[in-house]
């Protein structure tokens, strides 16, 4: 029989000084309830195989989104575009393109810097 196990506990999330979540854990109490797939309470199933409460961790900081950390080269960058960059979570992966919220232009993350993605005149 398929079943669901419902456990009471706490989630503790750890944040670094930039406000990014770096780790989370689930601390459970001993109180568990079991339900069948219709949501009805059932007795503890005899066929339960132990599963730890390890939570899926956030992806590494290099791929998780955050507000801009790397420098913005301001040559040719409009104020609306820099404002978009300051307010939009980004990954800062080489080649990432961020479209401006206000105009047709975009920024690109290249050589470790944000810069205008307009072709050079
Ligand atoms: Zn713009």
C-alpha span between 35 and 87 (Å, rounded): 44
C-alpha span between 73 and 116 (Å, rounded): 8
Q: How do 21-35 and 113-116 pair as beta strands?
A: unpaired
Using 50, 70 and 90 to split pLDDT, how confident is the model at 102?
very high
Ligand 1 centroid – CA 62 distance (Å): 26
Those residues whose beta carbon sits under 5 angstroms from the ion ligand 1 are: 78, 80-81, 100, 102-103, 105
Q: What pLDDT does residue 115 have?
A: 96
C-alpha span between 55 and 14 (Å, rounded): 13
Q: What pLDDT does residue 51 have?
A: 75
Q: List, for residues 52-89, the tens digit of each pLDDT value.
A: 776 666 655 556 788 999 999 999 999 999 999 999 99
3-state SS assignment for residue 20: coil
**Contacts (Cβ under 8 Å, ≥6 apart) of 89:** 65, 66, 67
């Amino acid at each position: 029989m398929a079943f669901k196990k419902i456990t009471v506990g706490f989630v503790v999330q750890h944040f670094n000084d930039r406000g990014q979540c770096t780790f989370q854990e689930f601390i459970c109490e001993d109180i568990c309830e079991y339900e069948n797939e219709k949501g009805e309470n059932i007795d503890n199933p005899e066929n339960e195989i132990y599963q730890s409460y390890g939570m899926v961790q956030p992806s590494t900081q290099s791929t998780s989104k955050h507000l801009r950390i790397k420098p913005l080269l301001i040559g040719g960058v409009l104020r609306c575009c820099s404002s978009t960059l300051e307010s939009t979570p980004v990954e800062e992966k080489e080649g990432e393109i961020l479209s401006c919220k206000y105009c047709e232009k975009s920024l690109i993350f290249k050589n470790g810097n944000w810069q205008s993605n307009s072709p050079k005149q």
